[in-house]
Chain A
Amino acid sequence: MRDELVRAISDMEEDEALRLCAAWLAAGGDPSEVLDAAKSALGIVGERYDAREYFLPELIIAGDLMRDIAALVKPHLADADEPRPARGRVVIGTVAGDIHDIGKDIVIFMLEVNGFEVVDLGVDVPAEAFVERVRETRPAVVALSGFLTLAFDQMRLTVQALVDAGLRSGVKVMIGGAIMDDDVRSYVGADAYGSDAQAAVRLATAWIG
C-alpha cells in the first residue's frame, strides 16, 4: 500500500490516493503508515517543484490532499501524532497595506515540507505585529512578503521596528515578492531576498542548517 499511496499522491491522482487511504484504514491498517507515506510523497512533490517539473497547481493539489488524508486518518489515531522536531522557526507575513497571500503561501508550503516551523502572521501585517510575534516566538528567520511597490517602504519600516525593539541582531530577515531584487533588499535593510520559494528554503537552510 505504501508505495502505491506515495506514487498516487506524488503523481497527483487525488481520487486514487484517497481510495487507497480509506481502504487501508477500513482493513485495520496502521494509520501512522498512511501519514508516513503522505510525508514521503510530499517530499517527492517538493523535489519535483525544485526541479521545475511541478508548479503552483501541484502544490495546491498536494496541500488539499494532505488535508483530506489527515481528516481520514484522524478518527483512527489513538493519540495525537508525535510532533516532528522542526529545523527552526520562521515568522512570515505580508507587510502592512498589502493583502496578497499567494506567494507567501507557496513559501510557507515549501518551508514546512522542508521541516521548518512556520508562524504565519497573515497579510496586511503592521510592523508592531511582527515585533510582538518575534519577541514572543524567538524565530531564527523573519520573512517579509510583498507584491505591491508600497511594500518597499513598509518592509523598511518593519526592519527598522525590529532594530528599535533590539530584536534585529537575533534574526535573519529575508524578503520576497515579484518585484524584489538586491536594490530593494539594500533599501529595506534585509539580509537577503528570494526570487522564488526554493530561494526561501535555500536561505533558511543556510541560516538555520
Chain B
Amino acid sequence: MTLPRTPDPGADAAAQYAARVQRVRDAVALRTPDRVPVFGPYQKYVYTHGGLTMRTAMTDYAAARAACHAFQDRFGPDLDFGPILAYPAKPMETLGYRAFRWPGHGLPDDAMYQYVEGEYMTAAEYDDFINDPSDFMFRTWAPRQFAALDGFAAPAPWRRFMWTGWMGLGALASPEARRSMQAAIQAGEEVDAWFASIGQYTAETNAKGYPLAYAGFDWAPFDILGDTLRGTTSILADMRRRPSKLHDALKVATRIFVEYAAPAASAELPIVWIWVHKATREFMSDAQFREFYWPYFREGLLALVDMGIIPLVYWEADFASRLEAITDVPKGKLIYHLAGTDPEQAREALAGTVCLMGSVPNIQLLAGTPDDVRATCRRLIDTLGRDGGYIMDTAVMLDEAKPENLAAMIEFTKEYGVYR
C-alpha cells in the first residue's frame, strides 16, 4: 500500500467532488476505496490557524468562512465542517442562553464555548414531557434555558386550542409574552444571517470540489434527556430511582432522535454526526448501558439507516467494554468514530460491520513531531484500514495543533493510504 502520492482524480472540481463522495461512500460500505479518506478534524483549530479568536469566529461570519477556506486550501482534507461549529454569539446573547458559556460571555476570547449542565427538567416533570413533549419544551423548558423566553410560559397548552381555546390568546398580549416573542423574532433573524453564511460556505466549498462532512447532527435518546433536560447526575440516578419513567421518556426521546436526523436523508453525503455523551464506562455499568442506553439508540440508528442516512457515532472515550453490544448493527451502513478505545480491539470486534474512523491522539498533534504522527497514521492504516472501511481522523475534535503535524497526518494518508 505504500506508494508515491497520487494526484487528485481529475483536474476539474466536479470530478473531485464526486471522487471524494465516492471515497467516503466506499469506506462506509466496507468496499475498498481508491484510498483512505481523511477528515479535516477541526473545531476551534481552524480559527486559531486562520489568526482568529473564537470570539471573532462567533461574531464575524465572513472572517470565519475565510478561515475555513484557508484551512482547506492549505491542508486539502476530503471532508470538513466549514464554519458550522462557530455558533453565532449574537442570537445567543439576544436569547439570554443560560446553558452555554462562550467567549465574551463568561469565557476568554480564545476559549471554545462550553455547555453548562443543569436540571432543566425536574423529576416531577417526567410525565409532562412524556405526555406532551412539545408543550413541555415550549412553556417550561425554553423559559429556563433562555432568559429572554420567560414569557413563553404565559399561554395555555396548544393542545387545548379547539372550541374556546382561542379565547386564551390574551395571554400572548401580556408584556412578558410580547417581550419574549420580540426576542424570538430578533434571534430568528440573527440565526438566519448565520445560516446564510453557512449556506454560502457550502456552495463555495462544493464548487471547489469538496463535500461537507455533515448533513446533520443528532443526540442519542439517553443524551437528549441527560444533556439538556435532566442533567448527568440526575439521569444517572434516575436509572435506579425511577427506571420506568425513564424508559417511557426514552421512547419519546427516540422519536425525537429520528425526527431530528430525518432531513439529512436527502443529502448527497447524508452523514449525521452523533456524539455519545453519557454512555462511557464510568457513567454506567454494562447492564445499565444495555438496558437504558443502547436499545433506544440502536432502534433510532436503524431507523436512520432505513432512511438512507449514514449515522456517524462518535464514541468519545474508552468503549472497550461496550464493543460486544454495539456490534449488533447492519453491516456497511454506519461509521463508528474511535477516541480512547484501543484500535486493535475495536478492529477485532467491529471490522466487517462498521466503518471505523479516528484514533490519532490529539496530544500528538500538539506536542509530537510530524514523524510521530506519520508513524501513528501508518499503524492505523495498516490495522484499521488494511481492507478499507477506515477514515483517518483525530481522536477528538481538534482545538490545538502544530500545523506541520496536521499536514503530516493528511499528506501521509493521501500517500500511504492508497489502495493498490
Binding site for B on A (CB under 8 A): 12, 14, 52-58, 60-61, 64, 97-100, 102-103, 106, 148-150, 152-153, 178-179, 181, 183-184, 187, 195-197
- Which residue of the partner chain, among B241, B282, B399, contacts A150 with CB atoms under 8 Å? B399
**Residues of B close to A58: CB separation below 8 A:** 240
Binds A, one of B157-165, B364-372, B385-393: B364-372
Please provide the 7 A-B residue pairs with the shortest distance between their CB atoms, ordered closest to farther.
A57-B236, A187-B367, A183-B363, A184-B363, A60-B237, A97-B111, A149-B399
Residues of B231-249 at the interface with A, using a CB-CB cut-off of 8 Å, are 232-233, 236-237, 239-241
Interface segment out of the listed B58-66, B136-144, B283-291: B283-291
A57 CB contact (under 8 Å) in B108, B237, B398, B399: B237
* Cβ-based interface call for B156 (8 A): no
> Quick check: A57 and B366 within 8 Å, CB to CB?
no
Assess whether A183 is in contact with B237, with CB atoms less than 8 Å apart: no
Bound CA span A53–B288, Å: 11
* In contact, A187 and B280 (Cβ under 8 angstroms): no
Whether the pair A99, B399 counts as a contact (CB closer than 8 A) is no
Q: Which chain B residues have a beta carbon within 8 Å of chain A's beta carbons?
A: 101, 107-108, 111-112, 114, 116, 232-233, 236-237, 239-241, 280-285, 288, 316-318, 339-340, 361-364, 366-368, 395-396, 398-400
Cross-interface CB contact of A97 among B108, B288, B364, cutoff 8 Å:
B108
Chain B contact residues, majority secondary structure: loop
Q: Within 8 Å CB of A153, what residues of B?
A: 366, 400
Distance A86 CA – B363 CA, assembled complex (angstroms): 36
Please determine whether A55 and B282 come into contact, CB atoms closer than 8 angstroms.
yes
Closest chain B residue to A153, Cβ basis = B400
Interchain CB contact under 8 A, B282 and A152: no
Task: Tell me the bound Cα distance from A61 to B281 in angstroms.
Answer: 18
Looking at the assembled complex, report how far the CB atom of B376 sits from the nearest CB atom of chain A, in whole angstroms: 11
Residues of A within 8 A of B107 (CB): 97
Q: Which of A60, A103, A197 contacts B233 (CB 8 A)?
A: A60
Determine whether the beta carbon of B396 is less than 8 Å from that of A98. Answer: no
With a cutoff of 8 Å between Cβ atoms, the chain A residues found around residue B232 in the complex are: 102
Which of A52, A56, A102, A149 is B362 in contact with, Cβ under 8 Å? A149
Chain B neighbourhood of A148, CB < 8 A:
112, 114, 399
Q: Is the CB of A57 within 8 A of B339?
A: no
Quick check: A99 and B116 within 8 Å, CB to CB?
Answer: yes
Provide the bound-state CA to CA distance between A58 and B283, in Å.
10
In the complex, residue of chain B having the shortest beta-carbon distance to the beta carbon of A147: B114
- Give the contacting residue for A61; candidates B237, B288, B362; CB below 8 A: B237
Number of A-B contacts (CB under 8 A): 91
A-B contacts, 7 listed (Cβ < 8 Å): A55-B285, A149-B362, A150-B400, A152-B363, A152-B400, A178-B340, A183-B361
Report whether B395 and A179 are in contact in the complex, using a CB–CB cutoff of 8 Å: yes
Contact A183 B233 (CB under 8 A): no
Q: A150 to B339: give the CA distance in the assembly, Å.
A: 16
Known contacts A178-B340, A179-B363, then 11 further A-B pairs from the complex at CB < 8 Å, ordered by chain A residue: A52-B285, A57-B237, A64-B237, A99-B101, A99-B114, A149-B363, A150-B400, A152-B366, A183-B361, A183-B363, A187-B366
Once A12-B240, A148-B399 are accepted as A-B contacts, the answer to whether A178 and B367 lie under 8 Å apart by CB is no
Given A149-B362, A152-B367, answer yes or no on A57-B282 (Cβ-Cβ < 8 Å).
Answer: no
> Which B residues lie within 8 Å of A181 (CB)?
361, 363
Nearest A residue (CB) for B238: A57
State in angstroms the CA–CA spacing of A197 and B283 once bound together. Answer: 12
Residues B282 and A149 in contact, CB atoms below 8 Å apart: no
> Which of B101, B236, B395 meets A60, CB within 8 Å?
B236
Cross-chain contact A57 with B239 (CB below 8 angstroms): yes
Q: Assess A98 versus B316: contact at CB under 8 Å? Given A149-B400, A152-B366.
A: no
Distance to closest chain B CB from A57 (angstroms)? 4
Expressed in whole angstroms, the Cα–Cα distance for A103 and B362 within the complex equals 20
Contact of B112 among A150, A178, A197 (CB under 8 A): A150
Given contacts A60-B236, A64-B237, A150-B112, contact A55 B283 (CB under 8 A): yes
Chain B nearest CB from A179 CB (Å) reads: 6
Complex CA gap A181/B339 in Å reads: 12
Contact: A179 with B282, CB < 8 Å? no
From A14, A103, A106, give the contact of B241 (CB < 8 A).
A14
Nearest Cβ distance between residue B232 and chain A, in whole angstroms?
Answer: 6
Q: Which residue of A lies closest to B321 (CB)?
A: A52
Residues of chain B contacted by A152 (CB below 8 angstroms):
362-363, 366-367, 400
- Complex CA gap A56/B281 in Å reads 9
